[in-house]
Amino acid sequence: MKVKRWWLVPASLVALAAAVAALVGASTGGASSGKVSGSIEVWVDAVRLPVAKLYAKTHPNVKVKIVTYDGDGNGATTMQTKIQLWNRTGKGWPDVVFTEQANDPVWMGQPPFDFAMNLKGVFPASLLTGWPAPSLAQCTVNGRLVCLQDNLAQEVLYVNKKLMAQFGYQVPTTWQQWAALGTKVAKEHPGYIIGTVGDSYGHWLYLWPDQCPISQVVAPKTVRINSANAHCTRMASLLDPLIANKSVSTVTIFSPDFAKTYGGDDDKVLLMPGPTWYAKDIFGGTLKIPAGQMTAAMPLRWNNEPPVTGQVGGGPWVVSKHTKSVAAAIDFVKFATTSLAVKSKPGALSPGYPSYGPAATVWLKNLNKDPYFAAPPGAAMKAAAGLVWKGWSMVTYPDQPIWSNSVVTQLIAGKSLSSLLPALGKGLSNNAKAAGYRVVNK
Amino acid sequence: MEATRTRGLRVPRGAPFVLPYLPFLIVFGIAPTIYALDLAFTNAGGGWVGFHNFVRAYDDFRFVPAFKHILIYTIVWLGALMVFVVGLALLLHGRATRVSATYRFLFYIPGALAGAAAVVIWLFMLDPTVSPGSFLLRHVLGASIFAQSIAPGNLPYIFAMIAFWTGAGGWIVVMYGALNTIPPDLEEAARIDGAGPFTIAFRLKLPLIRKWIAYMLILSFATGTQLFVEPEIVQHASFGLVPDTWSPNQLAYQQAFRYADFNVAAAIAVDLLLIGLLGAVLIVSRSGLFRAED
């Protein structure tokens, strides 16, 4: 009993401190001290803009210049171009950069770009323990911690609970059940979909969770790209009949076509493998699917194989090694990633699953309370966080455009995914070689 | 002797007209060209490497496709310019003044939009869900979604259409001006000799504005092979359905800023310069653009 009590005292103190911190955080800016001063330039995408603005508002001692850019979304190379130019002129680098591209830090962290600061020893070590190990591993380049993920983007299966109940379907747990359902849907309820492969990250949603080795760094500067591997072809064979019977769409979820065809009050999204940041943002916002329909289920697994899942982004924050205001830059990243003022609830400030564990716990609690969802989606998301397959490495070249222009364009033209896998492999190999990688198949 | 003396006098007289442009030509035209030539034949350290950069540029897997794209695009675009600009200008020239002024204005309007803005308009025009011309997209391109409109096979034609839409109006006005320089008595004489409007247009007016057509072709050929804005914006808007190295100029841009390889980028730029020069020499020699006796 005594032991228990002793354990309880610090525990309750921690809880109290956390509550105070949360309260203080909401007014003064969370985990960041608020005592830091200096001036920083921050480059963010449109989604992270409110966070930067909030920091500027709550930290009058820090002069913040905010610049918005495309965030390198969908494989754009804006930041690469800019850093290239700043490096050539020897000045002008921003102090903090957010990128939507989870692979960006890989080239930012090494020559010739050599832009990212090693955060090890600079960022409070006590906070770093809050990030999941795979997330930190993904941000580690040549032993240096060159970024901190803003959010995790693990893939789950979104389920339209209302439609599933209406049609009398069971929520699938394996890709096989999912495919069987797709065949059934095409017959019984044509027009309804169970997913789309038309996004620029379609291969992350379908090939990553089947452990297809087309982006696997096996040695320094050596990448394994084998689109003929059974883990790629079996998923393609599974998808092809579904693409043909139109239960899996080939249109990107971000196009007006998609929202018009599948969104709105009489939406036609039955199931949808997608990352955690889809949640209310995409289903409620982009697709205008009414409240009380969507929820999340565990990611699909291949038959009875151990469950693994894919990942779509999980944009990181990067601090420039050229910054003159290290304290302010670090304070900013601390605020953006760990403070409860930003990360406590799903919404404009934190649409994605927070990568910082303690924040994620609070975030999930609030997500589960959100009346938008037909059932609390948090448990599935939390479970999926640890299931992301680690055989898919971050590389210096963006692979999204290759999927888009060598696969999606041809799927739309009526070809089968199986017939396009060689082209995907070739496109990836070409780009890998152009980026200086050695490519191996086996 | 007489001729050389007058020429000797003309140069200084022309100088005030040329001088204000000269600094800009040097800073933004000649100096970058020399810099590009220097980069193209050296490596990152500045050492002479001969044609190595050109070989590396050619060996890139995107080099040949990019030039193929631009070849089809330039043929389609220049063909359209030749036929429609000259045709429309001839048609307008035969009309009453007010009618032709209205049409000239209408043709010119799209050209008043800056390149990038024009492409953004076309993004809507090409999306069957919002386009006012969706029936055309459905029937001509067989497209019911945006991604089908911009299918790889359609792209050269689509970019040619955008370029024609933004650029043709200005050229129609120029051609119209050129037609106005034809002395009316020539036309009258032809008419008295029994020439119909068709004969006058093709046998009289067309040969007389040949040099303007050559001039249009030279400039358009150069800008055509250097296409950049259209594919770049469509690439971003389509989430990468269009490759970011569709045209050689985009490839040069990627080489320079993504791979930090300014030398290969410069080699591609020099290739484009040579192609532009070659095109100009061919057109000049074939059309007699600088022949004095005409």
Query: A363 lies in which domain range?
Result: 2-152+313-369
Q: Tell me: do A266 and A356 sit in the same domain.
A: no
Q: Tell me: do A365 and A410 sit in the same domain.
A: no
Q: Tell me: do A422 and A334 sit in the same domain.
A: no
Q: How far apart are CA B170 and CA B17, in angstroms?
A: 23
Q: Tell me: do A354 and A343 sit in the same domain.
A: yes
Higher-scoring residue by pLDDT: B184, B267 = B267
Contact status of A356 with chain B (Cβ, < 8 Å)? no
Contact status of A110 with chain B (Cβ, < 8 Å)? no
CA distances in angstroms from A414 to A215, A250, B129, listed in the order given = 26, 10, 20
DSSP H or E stretch at residue A40: strand A38-44
Q: Tell me: do A352 and A408 sit in the same domain.
A: no
Cα A87 from chain centre: 29
A405: amino acid identity, one letter: N
CATH of the domain at A183: 3.40.190.10
pLDDT of residue A33: 56
For residue A377, is it within any domain? Answer: no
Q: Tell me: do A80 and A159 sit in the same domain.
A: no
Mean pLDDT is lowest, of A403-417, A423-437, B159-173, for B159-173
Q: Tell me: do A286 and A327 sit in the same domain.
A: no
Q: Tell me: do A296 and A338 sit in the same domain.
A: no
User: Mean per-residue pLDDT for A89-96?
Assistant: 95
**Using 50, 70 and 90 to split pLDDT, how confident is the model at A166?**
very high
User: Mean per-residue pLDDT for A96-109?
Assistant: 93
pLDDT tens digits, B127-186: 888 888 888 888 888 888 888 888 888 999 999 998 888 888 889 888 988 988 888 888
pLDDT of residue A395: 92
Q: Are A400 and B259 inside 8 Å of each other by CB?
A: no
CB of A64 closer than 8 Å to CB of A56 = yes
Choose among B236, B241, B260: nearest Cβ to A409: B241
- Closest Cα to residue B160, out of B240, B247, B274? B247
> Between β-strands A155-160 and A294-297, what pairing exists: parallel, antiparallel or unpaired?
antiparallel
Q: How far apart are CA B294 and CA B283, in angstroms?
A: 16
pLDDT tens digits, B107-123: 888 877 767 788 888 88
For residue A229, is it within any domain? Answer: yes
- Closest Cα to residue A98, out of A130, A60, A64, A72? A72
Choose among B147, B235, B243: nearest Cβ to A412: B147
For residue A390, is it within any domain? Answer: no
Q: How far apart are CA B47 and CA B39, in angstroms?
A: 10
Q: Give A44's DSSP letter.
A: E
Q: Is residue A291's pLDDT more than 90?
A: yes
Q: Tell me: do A258 and A403 sit in the same domain.
A: yes
Which of A402, A412, A424, A430 to mutate against chain B (most B CBs within 10 Å)? Answer: A412
Q: Is residue B57's pLDDT more than 90?
A: yes
The total domain count for chain A is 2
Q: Is residue B13's pLDDT more than 50?
A: yes
To the nearest whole angstrom, how far is the Cα of A148 from the nearest Cα of chain B?
Answer: 23
Q: Are A255 and B146 inside 8 Å of each other by CB?
A: yes
Q: Estimate the crossing angle of helix B262-287 against helix B31-40, to 10 degrees.
A: 120
pLDDT of residue B292: 64
Q: Are A409 and B152 inside 8 Å of each other by CB?
A: yes
pLDDT tens digits, A246-256: 999 999 999 88
For residue A7, is it within any domain? Answer: yes
For residue A8, is it within any domain? Answer: yes
Choose among B241, B257, B258: nearest Cβ to A404: B241
Q: Tell me: do A434 and A303 sit in the same domain.
A: yes
Q: Is residue A259's pLDDT more than 90?
A: yes
To the nearest whole angstrom, how far is the Cα of A414 from the nearest Cα of chain B?
Answer: 11
pLDDT tens digits, B196-208: 888 888 888 888 8
**B58 contacts in chain A (CB < 8 Å):** none
Higher-scoring residue by pLDDT: A6, B119 = B119
User: Mean per-residue pLDDT for A175-188?
Assistant: 97
Checking ipTM against 0.90, whether it exceeds it is no
Q: Tell me: do A209 and A244 sit in the same domain.
A: yes
pLDDT of residue B9: 54
Q: Tell me: do A327 and A416 sit in the same domain.
A: no
Q: Is residue A51's pLDDT more than 80?
A: yes
Nearest CA in chain B to A253: B239
Q: Is domain B25-287 given the CATH code 1.10.3720.10 in the classification?
A: yes
Long-range contacts of B18-22 (CB under 8 A, 24+ apart): none
For residue A56, is it within any domain? Answer: yes
For residue A383, is it within any domain? Answer: no
User: Mean per-residue pLDDT for B56-71?
Assistant: 95
Contact status of A256 with chain B (Cβ, < 8 Å)? yes
**A255 contacts in chain B (CB < 8 Å):** 145-147
User: Mean per-residue pLDDT for B29-48?
Assistant: 93
pTM reported for the whole predicted model: 0.84
